[in-house]
């Protein structure tokens, strides 16, 4: 059959940082994830609005105890090479993703699967992972505990299948044009590092008939201002974000093309509880927290491109509204008075002010926020703040050592829409707990929530955990992120969602 000659439909996407790899099990960044989701398809997928949808699996059953998932693959699912996608490909992908010998970077997301933590720790071989393929079209996954968000995990790149012939042939260098075989709607044709990555539609994709865009070009830009200019010059159809300092101006000039929507991310300051002055001084931490005017930061400084934050968990968690302490709604004078009282109780005064270091990694937004917070502390409590601006890797190392930091900047992006994605980072055992927060009560609440299959009771446990956090104040939440895309009006099918996941196959371009 000969198709009539037709202009190709090309989507040009500004994609933020250069992806470090397109290997689904080794990539960690947002920019890599965007591309990998076009190249591969997990057992599940997401609808444009963010709901769980069928992916490579057409349907599935969940056992009554919520611990056994049985997936049935689509009969027509094929690799871009034309071969059929089998259940073994998925099992192999999960095993590789959990296997420390494969150098996989994201094992924690597979933690709900039976034996996953032991496999990742090297205590069990990868084939003991609780995922099996009874036949070529069926994948059975056993979980350690019922996990309400587990279907979302299966749309994460870390759970994607792997095309074993090329993995065997090229090893870790398989994720290159000409070598990468995927089961997604697109296939990789060009990767010029720091220049662009080009994908064309995969004619072997099971739903190719409904794909509208023929070619996607992903352009890396570290510099958001440059990305914005290229968008305005008509060289990009979509951007990864906008510079927050220009949010108001962009909204004014580009209007409806700016899509601001809640995104699963929180920006906060951590207090190092292992060192003076914050060790064992909850009053001080609360005083500092109450002295910070989040509305001013989110509204005036970030120009509405962020939401004020009073807790760790962002909005957008199903069945879980974000926490809001009562003082959040107090008038400023009362809040400041209370903060001053707590500051005094903590043993500080104008004669004996707190001297503190606030550490952040080099970036325009971090700098401005830190300046403003320091000014609020200074002008409201009399705190003398020293801003310590460090380059990213140095900053990470210092934060992790817990021996140099006092207060420091953290931002955390959730991988799935569940409170656990956030709450877990303050567990005493978590590798990310740079605050050295060690609360047995908090750990116990999280453990209970993990074991709890009933959604309302689980939510209640998380709410209690958040109250614990509010009382202990190991962190000072500042704002919740918004996704900030610019989308040309001729791009149809775009829909904002909390995980900020967008598949090119769901988009189409109107003539323009």
- Of positions 172, 210, 324, 334, contacts other proteins by CB under 8 A: 172
273 or 410: CB nearest other proteins: 410
Q: Does 229 bind other proteins (CB under 8 A)?
A: yes
**Is 272 a residue that touches other proteins (CB under 8 A)?**
no
Footprint on residues 112-131 left by other proteins (CB under 8 A): 120-122
Q: How far apart are CA 278 and CA 284, in angstroms?
A: 7
Closest to other proteins by CB, 151 or 302: 302
Compute the residue count for the chain.
Answer: 512
Assess 30 for contact with other proteins (CB under 8 A): no
Query: In the chain, what is the straight-line distance between the N-terminal and C-terminal CA atoms, in Å?
Result: 29
Q: For residue 94, what are the contacts with CB-CB under 8 A and spacing of at least 6?
A: 110, 113, 129, 131, 141, 159
- Contact with other proteins (CB under 8 A) among 73, 94, 175, 486: 175
User: d(Cα 218, Cα 225) in Å, to the nearest integer?
Assistant: 17
Taking CB under 8 A as the criterion, the residue among 6, 8, 194, 403 binding other proteins is 194
Per the listing, tokens 């071969």 go with 83
**C-alpha torsion 354→357→363→366, nearest 10:** -30
Which CB atom, from 291 or from 463, has the smaller least distance to other proteins?
291
Calpha distance 314→276 (Å, rounded) = 29
- Minimum CB separation of residue 222 from other proteins in Å reads 6
Is there binding between residue 104 and other proteins (CB under 8 A)? yes
Q: Yes or no: say if 368 and 301 are a contact pair by the CB < 8 Å rule.
A: yes
Cβ atoms 33, 105 nearer than 8 A: no
- Burial of 95: CB neighbours in 10 Å, binned 0-12, 13-18, 19+: buried
Which CB sits closer to other proteins, 82 or 171?
171
Of the candidate spans 34-42, 99-107, 305-313, 343-351, the one that interacts with other proteins by CB under 8 A turns out to be 99-107
Tokens of 474: 């190991």
Residue whose pair of structure tokens reads 């209690």 in the numeric block: 464
- In angstroms, give the least distance from the CB of 438 to other proteins: 17
- Please report whether residue 357 would count as binding other proteins according to CB under 8 A: no
Please, are residues 42 and 247 in contact by the beta-carbon 8 Å criterion?
A: no
Does 472 engage in binding with other proteins (CB under 8 A)? no
Residues 247-266 that bind other proteins (CB under 8 A): 248-249
Q: Minimum Å distance from CB 457 to other proteins?
A: 29
28 binds other proteins (CB under 8 A): yes
Task: Copy the structure tokens of residue 469.
Answer: 């956090």
- Cis peptide bond N-terminal to 33, omega within 30: no
Candidates 40, 149, 160, 174: give the one binding other proteins (CB under 8 A).
Answer: 174
Site string (195-224) toward other proteins, x via CB under 8 A: xx----------------------xxxxx-
Site for other proteins in 293-352 (CB under 8 A): 293, 296, 300-301
For the beta carbon of residue 134, count every other beta carbon within 10 angstroms: 10
Per CB under 8 A, which of residues 376..405 are in contact with other proteins? 376, 379, 387-394, 396-398, 400
């Amino acid at each position: 059959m000969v198709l009539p000659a037709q202009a190709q439909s090309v989507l040009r996407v500004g994609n933020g940082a250069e992806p470090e790899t397109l290997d689904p099990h080794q990539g960690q960044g947002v920019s890599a994830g965007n591309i990998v989701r076009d190249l591969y398809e997990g057992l599940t997928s997401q609808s444009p609005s963010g709901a769980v949808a069928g992916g490579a699996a057409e349907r599935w059953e969940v056992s009554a105890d919520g611990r056994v998932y049985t997936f049935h693959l689509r009969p027509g699912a094929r690799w871009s090479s034309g071969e059929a996608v089998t259940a073994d490909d998925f099992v192999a992908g999960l095993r590789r993703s959990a296997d420390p010998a494969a150098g996989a970077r994201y094992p924690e997301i597979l933690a709900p699967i039976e034996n996953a933590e032991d496999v990742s720790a090297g205590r069990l071989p990868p084939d003991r992972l609780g995922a099996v393929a009874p036949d070529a079209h069926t994948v059975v996954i056993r979980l350690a505990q019922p996990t309400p968000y587990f279907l979302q995990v299966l749309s994460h790149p870390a759970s994607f299948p792997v095309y074993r012939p090329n993995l065997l042939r090229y090893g870790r260098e398989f994720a290159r044009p000409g070598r990468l075989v995927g089961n997604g709607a697109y296939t990789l044709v060009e990767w010029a590092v720091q220049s662009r990555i080009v994908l064309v539609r995969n004619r072997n994709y099971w739903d190719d008939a409904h794909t509208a865009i023929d070619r996607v070009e992903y352009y890396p830009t570290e510099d958001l201002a440059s990305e914005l200019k290229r968008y305005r010059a008509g060289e990009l159809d979509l951007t990864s974000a906008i510079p927050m300092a220009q949010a108001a101006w962009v909204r004014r000039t580009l209007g409806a093309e700016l899509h601001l929507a809640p995104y699963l991310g929180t920006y906060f300051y951590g207090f190092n509880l292992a060192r003076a002055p914050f060790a064992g001084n909850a009053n001080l931490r609360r005083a500092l927290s109450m002295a910070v005017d989040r509305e001013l930061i989110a509204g005036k400084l970030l120009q509405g491109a962020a939401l004020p934050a009073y807790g760790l968990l962002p909005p957008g968690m199903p069945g879980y509204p974000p926490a809001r302490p009562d003082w959040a709604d107090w008038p400023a004078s009362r809040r400041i008075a209370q903060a001053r009282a707590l500051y005094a109780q903590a043993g500080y005064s104008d004669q004996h002010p707190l001297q503190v270091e606030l550490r952040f990694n080099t970036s325009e937004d971090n700098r401005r926020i830190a300046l403003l917070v320091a000014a609020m502390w200074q002008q409201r409590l009399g705190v003398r703040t020293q801003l310590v601006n460090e380059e990213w890797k140095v900053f990470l190392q210092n934060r992790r050592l817990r021996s140099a930091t006092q207060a420091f900047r953290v931002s955390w992006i959730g991988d799935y829409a569940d409170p656990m994605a956030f709450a877990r980072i303050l567990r005493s055992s978590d590798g990310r707990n740079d605050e050295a927060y060690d609360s047995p009560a908090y750990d116990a609440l999280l453990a209970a929530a993990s074991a709890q299959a009933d959604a309302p009771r689980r939510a209640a446990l998380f709410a209690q955990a958040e109250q614990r956090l509010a009382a202990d104040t190991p962190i000072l939440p500042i704002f919740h992120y918004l996704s900030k895309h610019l989308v040309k009006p001729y791009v149809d099918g775009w829909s904002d969602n909390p995980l900020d996941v967008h598949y090119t196959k769901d988009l189409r371009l109107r003539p323009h």
